[in-house]
Amino acid sequence: MTAVDVVVMAAGKGTRMKSRLPKVLHRLGGKPLIGHVVDTAWQLQARGLVVITGHGAAEVESAVAHMATAAQQAAPAFVRQEPQLGTGHAVQQAVPALPDDGVALILNGDVPLVQPQTLQRLLERCDGKRLALLSVTMPDPTGYGRIVRTGDAVQSIVEHKDASEAQRAIREVYTGFMAVPSALLKRWLARLTNDNAQGEYYLTDIVKLAVADGEEVVALAIDDQVQVDGVNSPVQLAELERAYQLRRARALMEQGVRIADPARFDVRGELACAGDVEIDVNCVFEGRVSLGEGVRIGANCVIANARIAAGAVIHPFTHIDGESAGVEVGEGALVGPFARLRPGAQLGAEVHIGNFVEVKNSTLARGAKANHLAYLGDATVGERVNYGAGSITANYDGANKHRTVIEADVHVGSNSVLVAPVTLGAGGTVGAGSVITKDTQPGALSVARGRQAGIADWQRPKKKPK
Ligand code: UD1
Ligand code: MG
Buried b (16+ CB within 10 A) or exposed e, 317-347: bbbbbbeeebbbbbbbbbbbbbbbbbbbbbb
In the predicted model, is pLDDT for residue 5 greater than 90?
yes
Residue type, 63: A
Confidence check: pLDDT of 115 > 90: yes
> How far is Cα 131 from Cα 220, in angstroms, rounded to an integer?
11
Q: Give whole-number Cα distances, 294 to 309, 320, 333, 353, in Å.
A: 9, 19, 12, 19
Expressed in angstroms and rounded, the spacing between residue 90 Cα and the centre of ligand 1 is 9
User: Binning pLDDT at 50, 70 and 90, where does residue 13 land?
Assistant: confident
Contacts of 352 (CB under 8 A, 6+ apart): 333, 334, 335, 368, 369, 370, 371
Cβ of 173 below 6 Å from ligand 1: yes
What is the percent of the chain where pLDDT is above 70? 100
pLDDT for the residue numbered 463 = 94
Secondary-structure class of domain 256-446 per CATH: mainly beta
CA distance 113 to 225: 10
Three-point CA angle 146, 10, 88, nearest 5°:
50
- Mean pLDDT, range 397-413, rounded to an integer: 97
Q: Which of 87, 195, 207, 225 has most ligand 1 atoms within 8 Å of CB, for mutation? A: 87
Instruction: Convert the pLDDT of each residue in 59-79 to its tens digit.
Output: 999 999 999 999 999 999 999
* Ligand that lies nearest to the alpha carbon of residue 13, given by its number in the listed order: 1
Q: How far is the CA of 52 from the centre of ligand 2 (A)?
A: 15
Closest residue by Cα to atom 34, ligand 1, is 12
Alpha helix ranges (H) inside 26-70: 33-43, 57-70
Amino acid at 340: R
Task: Please work out whether the CB of residue 205 comes within 6 Å of at least one atom of ligand 1.
Answer: no
Indicate if the pLDDT at residue 1 is higher than 90: no
Question: Looking at ligand 1, which residue's alpha carbon is closest to its atom 11?
Answer: 145
Atom in ligand 1 nearest the alpha carbon of residue 205 = 8
- With a 6 Å cutoff on the Cβ, whether 350 touches ligand 1 is no
CB 117 within 8 A of CB 204: no
User: Distance from the CA of 302 to the center of ligand 1, in angstroms?
Assistant: 37
Q: Find how far residue 418's CA is from the centre of its chain.
A: 38
Residue limits of CATH 2.160.10.10 in the chain:
256-446
Residue 230 Cα: closest atom of ligand 1: 14
Tell me how far the alpha carbon of residue 67 lies from the centroid of ligand 1, in angstroms: 24
| pLDDT above 90: residue 413 | yes
Give start-end residues of each CATH 3.90.550.10 domain in the chain.
4-228
Ligand nearest 143 Cα, by number? 1
How many angstroms separate the CA atoms of 158 and 177, rounded? Answer: 15
The finding on whether 144 has its CB within 6 A of some atom of ligand 1 is yes
Q: Which three-class secondary structure string do you get for 97-157? A: HCCCCCEEEEEECCCCCCCHHHHHHHHHHHCCCCEEEEEEECCCCCCCCEEEEECCEEEEE
Is the CB of 201 inside a 6 Å radius of any atom of ligand 1?
no
> What's the CA-to-centroid distance between 104 and ligand 1, angstroms?
17
The candidate with the shortest Cα–Cα distance to 177, out of 235, 252, 122, is: 122
Q: Is 56 in the pocket of ligand 1 (CB under 6 A)?
A: no
Residue 437 backbone class (left: φ over 0; alpha: ψ -120 to 50; beta: rest): alpha
Q: Are 402 and 393 in contact (CB under 8 A)?
A: no
Write down the pLDDT at residue 110.
95
Contact 91/185 with Cβ under 8 angstroms? yes
Which of ligand 1's atoms lies nearest the C-alpha of 52?
22
User: How many other CB atoms sit within 10 Å of the CB of residue 223?
Assistant: 7
Q: Does residue 203 line the site of ligand 1, with CB under 6 A?
A: yes
327-355 pLDDT tens trace: 999 999 999 999 999 999 999 999 999 99
Strand, coil or helix: 363: strand
Mean pLDDT of 147-158: 96
CA angle 164, 168, 9 (to 5 degrees): 105
Active-site annotation, residues: 372
**Centroid of ligand 1 to alpha carbon of 238 (angstroms):** 20
Minimal-distance CA residue to ligand 1 atom 16: 12
Residue 286's pLDDT band, with cuts at 50, 70 and 90, is very high
What's the topology of domain 4-228? Spore Coat Polysaccharide Biosynthesis Protein SpsA; Chain A (3.90.550)
- CA dihedral sign, ordered 114, 306, 303, 310: positive
Is it the case that residue 399 has pLDDT exceeding 90? yes
Distance 175 CA to ligand 2 centre (A): 9
pLDDT band at 97 (very low <50, low <70, confident <90, very high): very high
145 lines ligand 1 (CB under 6 A): yes
* Cα four-point dihedral sign 249, 253, 257, 258: positive
Strand partners, 329: 308, 347
Contact 384/368 with Cβ under 8 angstroms?
Answer: yes
Q: How far apart are the first and last CA of the chain?
A: 104
Residue 357 reports pLDDT greater than 90:
yes
Is the distance from the beta carbon of residue 81 to the nearest atom of ligand 1 less than 6 Å?
A: yes
Q: Is 323:305 a contact under the CB 8 Å cutoff?
A: yes
Per DSSP, the three-state class of 89 is helix
Angle value at C-alpha 71, between 109 and 310, nearest 5 degrees: 110
Backbone angles phi, psi at 290, to 5 degrees: -130, 140
Atom in ligand 1 nearest the alpha carbon of residue 201: 8
